[in-house]
Amino acid sequence: MIKQNAGDEDVIAEERRVKQTLPDAMPVRLAGITKRYGGVTAVDNLAFGLEFGECFALLGVSGAGKTTCFKCLTGVVKPDKGSVTINGFDITR
């Protein structure tokens, strides 16, 4: 399950950056997404933003929620909470 670590300064700084940036000012923006399958939380309050030209990788152990994150990012599944914005267009609506 992807979950933000409350003690990680970089994670906190990225969440703050995403919250303070308007959706249309960031090419890719995931803001506080959570996805549950029944009683299992696959992704919990994930937030990050990508700029043009950035190289991005999502790493984690098996079952961490990486695939679910990408499914939310591509519109295959809708997050239960939060928003996914691509070039200012909210794909969760």
Question: How many domains, in total, are found in the chain?
Answer: 1
Residues 6+ apart with CB under 8 A from 43: 1, 2, 3, 33, 34, 35, 65, 68, 69, 72, 79
pLDDT in the model for residue 30: 96
Q: Tell me what the pLDDT averaged over the chain comes to.
A: 90
Mean pLDDT of 63-90: 94
Q: What is the pLDDT of residue 80?
A: 97
CATH number for the domain spanning 80: value is 3.40.50.300
Give per-residue pLDDT as tens, 16-47. Answer: 999 999 989 999 999 999 999 999 999 999 99
pLDDT at 51: 93
53 lies in which domain range?
Answer: 2-90
Q: What is the mean pLDDT of residues 43-69?
A: 92
Q: Which phi and psi (to 5°) does residue 12 adopt? A: -65, -40
